Amino acid sequence: MQKTACECCGTCCRKGGPALHTEDRQLVEAGILKLGDLITIRHGEYILHPISDAPLPAKEELLKIQGKGGSWCCKFLDNDSLTCTIYNNRPLACRLLKCWDPDDVLKITGKELLNRFDLIPPSNPLFSLTKKHDSECPVPDITSLVDQLFDKKQREETLARMSGLANRDLQARLYAAQMYHLSLADELFYFGRPIFRILEQVGISAKESVEGLSLHYNCI
């Protein structure tokens, strides 16, 4: 029998919170969604496609609702009832999503996406700071990076370059956290996931020392 209605199984919500669209800005302005509820997915970062579940690089920056418990599970999913705690004010993608008929949500996928600079006033000193961070600590081209890691001749140089990038990224975060008293949740909105965390998906692990992070490749 073909499914025709939501069975409140929680599967969609466990796969991750939705990408926000310009229409969802009103939820932030109304205080229903706070900046600390959101995570920035930067251009080039690999994310799961909402229907195919295949990881693909983000073609542009977007915002998603943060996960919980170290997972991507939407933070607004009630674990006991498997219901949405902001159901009456849920984002556009959630309202359109039908797991048995993806057509409506596919129509908006990748279109009119909201990003952090839509929500940070230019007068906010964090606006220019995040712009600078985005320029100086970009998400690496993951596909090219994988090719370089497989080439033993390039691997050492690549890891050294990525170590430098990961440390610059952390230094910028530390400065912002100390200067503007950012919580970890707020940091994930303003700066997205740390570079060293993004690199874990291609088998790069980080070791910390007094000199900072050093990155190592574990063939996957």
pLDDT tens figures, 89-112: 999 999 998 888 888 888 998 899
| Positive or negative torsion for Cα 131, 183, 142, 160 | positive
Residue 41 CA to residue 198 CA, distance in Å, equals: 10
How confident is the prediction for the chain on average, in pLDDT?
91
- Amino acid 55: pLDDT: 79
- Amino acid 217: pLDDT: 94
Q: Report whether pLDDT(164) > 80.
A: yes
Which of the four pLDDT bands, split at 50, 70 and 90, describes residue 30? Answer: very high
- Amino acid 90: pLDDT: 95
- Over 127-158, what HEC string results? HHHHHHHHHHCCCCCHHHHHHHHHCHHHHHHH
- Amino acid 53: pLDDT: 65
Q: Report whether pLDDT(139) > 60.
A: yes
Domain chopping of the chain, boundaries:
11-118, 125-217
